[in-house]
Amino acid sequence: MNNETERLQKRIANSGYTSRRKAETLITEGKVKVNGTVATELGTKVKSSDTIEVEGIKLEQEDKLYILFYKPAQVITSVSDDRGRKVVTDYFKQIKTRIYPVGRLDYDTSGLLLLTNDGEFTNLMTHPRYKIKKKYVVKLKGYLMREEVKGLEHGIQLEDGMTQPATVKVKNQDKDKNTTLVEITITEGRNRQVRRMFEHFGHQVTKLQRIEFGPLNLKGLNAGEGRVLTPHEVKVIRQLAEHGN
Ligand code: URA
């Protein structure tokens, strides 16, 4: 998911310097340098932080872009889908730089998803060591018992290990419909984690929405809409990841 590197000829073409084919010729002719060293291999992979020089001219580094997106349900957190289903980047076709999702939300999950072209930022946000809080609204089948809340708060044993302590707030219990609406905040991002945490107690999740990611929320956005993060927001969330919540 994290396309941190790309082929040298693609990077040159994307910069607008020349076509990809001409870029390939320049590479094989030894006219391209990566970080000061001539690169003649066409498959050479480069990172966005690498310095590329073509015929003695330095290419501009790509501007970093950070987008907060309100992902609708029934959209895939990916940049493409071999079955032709809608993917999150379909909403940003007007953006010329390649952006990709930071972590993932399930197909049926809606809510806050970040997208960026900054691989280092993605690592920072998704690495288990950095504990960014993520808050979800969950609708589930059945009545959530006090003991179950306590279990979730304390940590439970899933097949891939114990969960970290969570914050759980029951918002509503509907006796007639036998459903519970609950908010849960977790600091991890394992696959289908929230669903599995409730399934552990036999509760099927019927609706799941991420409403907060660190200090960020969905205010002002409808499903399918996004906005660019301010430099200040990027700085704050970086600091949170590095120094804790
Ligand atoms: N937990 C889940 O189970 N699914 C998501 O999409 C996000 C968190």
Residues 94 and 148 in one domain: no
Residues 166 and 229 in one domain: no
Residues 100 and 149 in one domain: no
Pocket of ligand 1, candidates 108, 191, 206, 208: which has the most ligand atoms within 8 Å of its Cβ, to mutate? 208
Residues carrying an active site annotation? 106
Q: What is the pLDDT of residue 2?
A: 43
Q: What is the pLDDT of residue 165?
A: 96
Nearest CA to ligand 1 atom 1: 194
Taking only the tens place, the pLDDT of each residue in 26-72 is 999 999 999 999 999 998 999 878 999 999 999 987 788 999 999 99
Q: How far is the centre of ligand 1, averaged over its atoms, from the C-alpha of 15 (Å)?
A: 36
Q: How far is the centre of ligand 1, averaged over its atoms, from the C-alpha of 165 (Å)?
A: 16
Residues 175 and 236 in one domain: no
Which residues of the chain register pLDDT less than 70? 1-4, 244-245
Q: What is the DSSP string of 82-109?
A: TT---BGGGGGTT--S--EESS---TT-
Tokens linked to 38: 């001539």
Q: What is the pLDDT of residue 81?
A: 93
Q: What is the pLDDT of residue 245?
A: 59
Angle (nearest 5°) at CA 121 between 117 and 127:
125
* Number of domains making up the chain: 3
Q: How far apart are CA 24 and CA 11, in angstroms?
A: 11
Q: Which residues line ligand 1 (CB under 6 A)?
A: 105-106, 109, 192-195, 208
Q: What is the pLDDT of residue 1?
A: 38
The residue range of the domain holding 181 is: 134-213
Angle (nearest 5°) at CA 157 between 140 and 208:
25
Q: What is the pLDDT of residue 176?
A: 93
Residues 82 and 117 in one domain: yes
